[in-house]
Structure 1
Amino acid sequence: MCCNGWRENTLGQVYEFSSGLSKNAKEFGFGFPFLSFKTVFNNYFIPEEICDLANTTEKEREKCSVKKGDVFLTRTSESLDELGMSCVALKDYQQATFNGFTKRLRPKNPEIINPKFTGYYFRSPRFRLAVTSMASMTTRASLNNDMLSRLPILIPPISEQVAIADILYSLDKKIELNNRINKILEEMAQAIFKSWFVGFEPFQEEEFEDSELGRIPKGWRVGTVSDLGDVIGGSTPSKSKSEYYTDQGIAWITPKDLSINKDKFISKGEIDITESGLKNSSAKIMPKGTVLFSSRAPIGYIAIAKNDVATNQGFKSVVPKNNIGTAYVYYFLKNNIEVIENRATGSTFKEVSGAIMKQIPAIIPNDKILSEFQSMCDLYFNKQLLLEEQNQNLTAIRNSLLPKLISGEIRVPLEEVQ
């Protein structure tokens, strides 16, 4: 007993462990719902629908079922950071099974543990530290049943579990709602771009003329990306010079930052560079509104700079010309990723050079239409930026509260749990 009614147990006392299915590659893509390693890794809770499919037998579906309260942990990985990542089922998933690289933890007594609470507990720094401390590391990090059974879990009274989970879950639901709104806004802006600049739907009554990219409204022209804005590459200051890097300096973005941060707008990366780092490299400062486009490993990550930024050499960014605007450049690049990627060169990995990027063909509407499109998109962009910043604040609050609530450092007032 600890923390006024909180119990510390081991996972072996609370859960039964089961291994998942190892399927042949040919058995995927059809059949029944299949909980993948990726889904477990990326979600606190299993999504409403499991999108991956596997051809499973009735016996496999019975043995490897997915039921409300089940916890799924990644049991093996190439790094400790990916080990023991969890995902919890908040309902029964009919006919579903789960991946062999994960373990299922099914509660022995579902009445004493709340699924939402466990969703946050297993993602807490407390549990993550316990996992990485116990894991074995040979060529791959791994967890076996014996290791799992000895891992500790701190269990409050069920009423307090529910209250803790509700606080954290309400924050996540607000984040989810904001993401849905932003997705809809993005789809609307994309639809307008395609309607205006791909299908030319609002201009069908106007005169058209031939061009190397097909018929376009008269007064428009065909140019290249270099006509849309200045194409600027990046650079990495010497990693051996610690004085070139800092936590608070010049924002410096890498493709990895965009792989982690899925937001449309970005203000900084994992680490900044100093004035000295900037001067001793070929990195350049680019203004707010610059469209960042990753040109290798991989090609096609895209974001808009919220402020002055620099990037590493993995980008060919475009600083839009004043008469073109950020919105047109952003959606042009987003809608032409495949065209750009097809022009990439390289044997080890494909890369888009600055010269190639500058010569990508582009339809250039007249200034009036571009101004109207930018004005319309500003309404979407301002709302999206507001919701992204709100989500960053909500995430920071959740991440700050989670370890304190899970450990009992902060207690939910008694009136909230009665």
Structure 2
Amino acid sequence: MGEWREVQLGEVADLLTGFPFKSQYYSDDPADPRLIGGDNIVQGSLRWDNVRRWPHSMTSDLERYWLAPGDVVLAMDRPWIEAGLKRAAIVREDLPALLVQRTARLRGSSTLDNTFLRYVIGSHEFVQYILGVQTGTAVPHISPAQIRAFRFLLPPLSRQRAIAHILGALDDKIELNRRMNETLEAMARALFKSWFVDFDPVRAKAAGRAPSGMDAETAKLFPSEFVQSDMGEIPRGWRVGTVGEFVELQRGAIRQASSAKGSDPVQSF
């Protein structure tokens, strides 16, 4: 592997577990620091609904529990949920924040880039390792020693940064596409509601106006008046019915898979 070397995570990363904050001292002041625990961590991100806060006036002895940008946090109780591993990277917008007990904070070192560390913790190998070593049935959990014992191949620092840069660019593209999809889905829902729930094109034509947001050919598809039905007013020419009246349900079957010669397996269904 050239300059790559096998290491234990604990050899190249600093791991800290959180402080047992007492609930009777929680703060309601939005200016006070957040408390980050396992309940705040989901797959790759943090959630702030019902977040707890701690009074700034009581932080003088908690210096080591302050989180910093680039820190990776990992839930130690029930670390795996259906959506994936409960881990996230801290960004400036999350701060100020303090680390809660039963939550691990991982931080890079002079030999481990923080961003590369984030991808190590999110890797398939680390996830499978955690699933294999976690203990407990009602509430599966992992220990600091188990996290530190994870072994992986570590490239030189320059390569770590190059790899992290490429993966970061891909993540940015994925996030951009996700946001675009959310926007398009919201637009589609709004359009469907306008056309087929609120009947805006029909109401516009009934009032003698041209429907907005559509061309003349599309506007021709909508009537210009309503009729009464069991569900109230509906566009003339439309009718009320059940899904079964308009959709044919056909149950499928999986055929026996067949294979073709080649370097890759091929299945036909």
> So what's the TM-score if we normalise by structure 2?
0.67
Alignment of 1:218-297 (within 5 A): 218-231=236-249, 248=257
Q: Is the 8 A contact 1:83 1:132 kept in 2?
A: no
Structure 1 residue aligned with 2:112: 113
2:104 paired residue number: 103
How many correspondences in the alignment?
234
In the alignment, the residues of structure 2 paired with residue 167 and residue 95 of structure 1 have an alpha-carbon distance, to the nearest angstrom, of 29
Residue 190 of structure 1: how far off its partner (Å): 1.0
Residue 234 and residue 165 in structure 1: after superposition, are their counterparts in 2 closer, same or farther (change >3 A)? same
Deviation string 1:127-176 (CA, Å, 9 cap, x unpaired) is: 33443454444654322223333333544332211101112222222222
> Partner of 2:17 in structure 1?
18
Amino acid at match of 2:180: I
**Does the CA contact (< 8 Å) of 1:90 and 1:116 recur in 2?**
no
Matched with 2:48 is 51
In structure 1, the partner of 2:71 is: 70
SS class of match (1:68): coil
Per the alignment, residue 264 of structure 2 pairs with none
SS of the residue 1:126 aligns to: helix
Distance 2:160 2:187 in 1: 40
Instruction: Letter of the 1:18 partner, please give it.
Output: T
User: For 1:9 and 1:179, how far apart are their aligned partners in 2?
Assistant: 34
Structure whose CA Rg is larger? 2
- Residues in 1 aligned to 2:27 and 2:241: alpha-carbon distance in whole angstroms: 44
Given that 2:17 and 2:101 are in contact with CA atoms closer than 8 Å, whether structure 1 keeps it comes out as no
Classify 1:18/1:184 alpha carbon distance in 2 versus 1 (closer, same or farther; 3 Å).
same
Q: Which has the higher helix share?
A: 1
1:212 is aligned with what amino acid? D
Give per-residue Cα distances to partners, 1:324-357, cap 9 Å, x unaligned. Answer: xxxxxxxxxxxxxxxxxxxxxxxxxxxxxxxxxx
Q: Which residue of 1 aligns with 2:189?
A: 190
Q: Match of 2:262?
A: none
Structure 1 residue 3: Cα displacement: 3.9
Residue number in structure 2 paired with 1:179: 178
Q: Which amino acid aligns with 1:54?
A: V
Amino acid at match of 2:239: R
Assess, with a 3 A threshold, how the Cα gap between structure 1 residues 57 and 157 changes in structure 2: closer, same or farther: same
Residue identity matched to 1:76: D
- Give the conservation status (yes or no) of the 8 Å contact 2:43–2:83: no
Residue 124 of structure 1: aligned partner: 123
Amino acid in the other structure paired with 1:216? I
Q: Distance in 1 between matches of 2:120 and 2:225?
A: 63
For residues 41 and 75 of structure 2, the distance between their equivalents in structure 1, rounded to whole angstroms, comes to: 7
- Give the aligned residue type for 1:96: A
Task: Return the letter of the residue paired with 1:88.
Answer: A
Q: Relative CO higher for 1 or 2, CA cutoff 8 Å, sep ≥ 6?
A: 2
Contact 2:6 2:154 in 1 (8 A): yes
Counterpart residue identity of residue 173, structure 2? K
For the residues of structure 2 that align with 1:97 and 1:73, how far apart are their CA atoms? 14
Residue 207 of structure 1, aligned match among 205, 217, 225:
225
8 Å contact kept, 1:86–1:123: yes
Instruction: Give the aligned residue type for 1:52.
Output: D
Question: What is the alpha-carbon distance in structure 2 between the residues aligned to residue 169 and residue 193 of structure 1?
Answer: 36
> 1:295-321, CA deviations, whole angstroms, 9 ceiling, x for partnerless residues?
xxxxxxxxxxxxx8xxxxxxxxxxxxx
Give the AA of the match of 2:51.
Answer: A
The separation in 1 between residues aligned to 2:75 and 2:193, in whole angstroms, is: 41
Distance 1:226 1:145 in 2: 56
**Alpha-carbon distance in 2 for matches of 1:28, 1:230:** 57
CA distance in 1, matches of 2:11, 2:27: 32
The residue identity in structure 1 corresponding to 2:175 is E
Indicate how the Cα distance of structure 1 residues 154 and 11 shifts in structure 2: closer, same or farther if over 3 A, else same.
farther
**Per-residue deviation, 1:193:** 0.5
Identity value in percent: 27
- What are structure 2's unaligned runs of at least 5 residues? 207-223, 259-266
**C-alpha root-mean-square deviation of aligned residues, in Å?**
4.1
SS at match of 1:210: strand
CA shift at 1:196, angstroms? 0.6
1:8 paired residue number: 7
Structure 1: distance between partners of 2:10 and 2:38: 21
In structure 1, the gaps of 5 or more residues are 236-243, 250-271, 275-307, 309-418
